[in-house]
Amino acid sequence: EAQVTQNPRYLITVTGKKLTVTCSQNMNHEYMSWYRQDPGLGLRQIYYSMNVEVTDKGDVPEGYKVSRKEKRNFPLILESPSPNQTSLYFCASSLSQNSYNEQFFGPGTRLTVL
Amino acid sequence: AQSVTQLDSHVSVSEGTPVLLRCNYSSSYSPSLFWYVQHPNKGLQLLLKYTSAATLVKGINGFEAEFKKSETSFHLTKPSAHMSEAAEYFCVVSDWEYGNKLVFGAGTILRVKS
């Protein structure tokens, strides 16, 4: 089954404790992206990657890092989480950078930073 | 720059009555437009997309949207609402000029009353 998976689905942590949220897709997509969803703000892009070893900042990159060492994986790293990073996070992938392509979303990761 | 305005944060309809969720967009060039639905505690699912072909777009489960360039609108409609369609709906714009970045509206929560 074609899908985007994220782990963990739920995470409660404390300020300053490094964490990684994994994202993997099995569709051989070139383009991958991370979003955060906050009430009343829709989804906002954190980082994106057009292909292996090619990443760039989205609208809200502060406090986050990403890497793209393999085509299928695109982990999101919070080196020193803070309470304002409490949010619902979505990973997405699409065939290419072309704006016609539908993006497929993972199930989401709900992060709480105390 | 791209932007999306969903004109209603909440819409309430009775089961079996028509649904209208309004969306206006701003984009420099020829945009791609999408409607995504998010059911409670679920990821996002694509309902339909406009990519410069027919201006009336049909999606899944009887949803339709009409692209009106003169009004910069992309309203989502359905003739008859079903209880299972209570969810949050996002209007999204994307443009090749901006590297397939999706810009989300703030969302419209649809409530369906029995």
Return the residue of A nearest to B93 by Cα: A99
Collect all residues of chain A within an 8 Å Cβ-Cβ radius of residue B99. 48, 50, 97
DSSP 8-state secondary structure symbol assigned to residue B99 = T
**Are the CB atoms for A7 and A21 separated by under 8 Å?**
yes
Nearest to A34 by CA among A89, A88, A87, A72: A89
Q: Which amino acid is at B42?
A: K
CA distance A5 to chain B (A): 11
Across the interface, whether the CB atoms of B90 and A42 are under 8 A apart is answered yes
Q: Does A48 touch chain B (CB under 8 A)?
A: yes
pLDDT value at residue A48 = 92
pLDDT value at residue A6 = 96
Collect all residues of chain A within an 8 Å Cβ-Cβ radius of residue B39. none
Residue B9 has pLDDT above 90, yes or no: yes
DSSP A20-87: EEEEEESS--SEEEEEEEETTTEEEEEEEEEETTEEEE-S--TT-EE--SSSSB--EEESS--GGG-E
Residue B105 has pLDDT above 70, yes or no: yes
Instruction: List, for residues B32-81, the tens digit of each pLDDT value.
Output: 899 999 998 888 999 999 987 788 999 999 999 999 989 999 999 999 99
Instruction: List, for residues A42-91, the tens digit of each pLDDT value.
Output: 899 999 999 999 999 999 999 999 999 999 999 999 999 999 999 999 99
Across the interface, whether the CB atoms of B107 and A42 are under 8 A apart is answered yes
pLDDT value at residue B98 = 67
CA distance B71 to chain A (A): 21
Peptide bond into A8 cis (omega under 30): yes
Instruction: List, for residues B15-31, the tens digit of each pLDDT value.
Output: 999 999 999 999 877 78
How remote is the C-alpha of A99 from its chain's centroid? Answer: 19
CA distance B4 to chain A (A): 10
pLDDT value at residue B31 = 84
Q: Does A61 touch chain B (CB under 8 A)?
A: no
Q: Which amino acid is at B5?
A: T
DSSP 8-state secondary structure symbol assigned to residue A102 = P
Tokens of A39: 């009430």
CA distance B9 to chain A (A): 8
pLDDT value at residue A76 = 98
- Which has more confidence, A102 or A11? A11
Nearest to B99 by CA among A69, A100, A65: A100
3-class DSSP state of A20 = strand
**Are the CB atoms for B21 and B7 separated by under 8 Å?**
no
